[in-house]
Amino acid sequence: MSSDRLFRDAFRGGIKQCCKVPGSGNESSFQFNTKYIQGIRHRLDEEAVASERREKHTSNFLVQQLKALETRQEAQRDELITPQRHTDCIEHIVQKLKEIVSPPAVEPTPPLLPNFTFKACVLGKCFSGKTTCLVKIAEELGICILSAETLIEEALKAYKSEELCKSSFTNAQLVDVMVRAISQLPAQSDWILDGFPYNIIQADLLEKALGGSVDEEDETADLAEDPDPLKRPPCPAPILDLALLLDVSDECA
């Protein structure tokens, strides 16, 4: 017979005994049924507590088994990944050692502007500020300044003749003085002519002397147009990269 049925029967019997009049001789039976019911209740409580403990124990056991399984799986994954990690680490160390022993050649950074020799002239009236500006440029950029006045004075002193003066020099001679000064500069040096050339004739002579070309007048301009003209070769670039004229009024100069 199950405990639930015993409990129900005992409870019903206890109820029946409770309904009887006291002193009828059934008090001992009533006490027995009450104790029996209490014993059953006590056993049921103990079984409930024991069942709860078993469930907790089973749950804890399953959790521990699950953690152990996850730990084993993680260890297996590490065993598979670790050799690859070791290989990558060794390759990295070997590569660093190679770079230390034989460092790779570092390519120079290309300049923002291509290297070229800067050639220019600054023209203007006397006291227009040519020399003052060029002195500042020479200090900041290290460009060679060739002063026409200074070079002509040095040429006059070389002749040691009081009869010669600046006006005694022809255009060709003045150009020759400037070209000689340019040729004495270090190779690939930047230079600026201060106050030279004075006129268009000197400019053409200077261009030719430095290897440039000058547009000459076409003597066949008045003749009939040639139906099949020859193609002229392109003119070379001018020798001077810049010609700057400081055009100021007489009042400012």
- Give pLDDT tens digits along the chain (253 positions): 444 554 455 444 444 444 444 444 455 555 657 777 888 888 888 888 888 888 888 888 888 888 888 888 787 776 665 555 567 778 888 788 778 777 777 777 776 666 778 899 999 888 888 888 899 988 888 889 998 888 888 877 776 655 556 567 788 888 998 999 999 988 888 999 998 998 899 989 998 888 877 766 555 555 566 677 677 777 777 888 888 888 877 676 5
Q: Are 19 and 85 in a shared domain?
A: yes
Q: Is residue 191 part of a domain?
A: yes
The answer to whether residues 128 and 88 belong to one domain is: no
Q: What value, to the nearest 5°, has the Cα angle with vertex 131 and ends 113 and 148?
A: 95
Q: Which of 101, 128, 163 is where one domain is finished?
A: 101
Residue 230 falls within a domain, yes or no? Answer: no
Residue pLDDT, tens place only, 4-49: 554 455 444 444 444 444 444 455 555 657 777 888 888 888 888 8
Where do we find the tokens 């598979």?
80
Q: Are residues 241 and 134 in the same domain?
A: yes
Give residue 9's domain range. 3-101
The residues near 206 (Cβ < 8 Å, ≥ 6 apart) are 175, 178, 179, 196, 197, 239
Domain count, the chain: 2
Domain containing 202 — which CATH number?
3.40.50.300
Query: Is 113 among the domain residues?
Result: no
Task: Examine residue 107 and state whether it is found in any structural domain, yes or no.
Answer: no
pLDDT at 28: 53
Residue with tokens 């409580």: 45
Question: What is the per-residue pLDDT for 20?
Answer: 44
Do 124 and 163 share a domain, yes or no? Answer: yes
Residues 147 and 242 in one domain: yes
d(CA 131, CA 243): 15
Q: State whether 51 and 170 are in the same domain.
A: no
pTM: 0.48
Q: Is 142 inside a domain boundary?
A: yes
Give the model's pLDDT for residue 216.
63
Q: Beta strands 191-194 and 119-124: pairing type?
A: parallel
How far apart are alpha carbons 151 and 153 in whole angstroms? 5
- Are both 123 and 95 inside the same structural domain? no
Domain contains 77: yes
Q: Same domain, yes or no, for 8 and 82?
A: yes
Do both 51 and 90 map to the same domain? yes
86 and 168 assigned to the same domain: no
* pLDDT at res. 121: 92
- Give the model's pLDDT for residue 191: 92
Length reported for the chain: 253
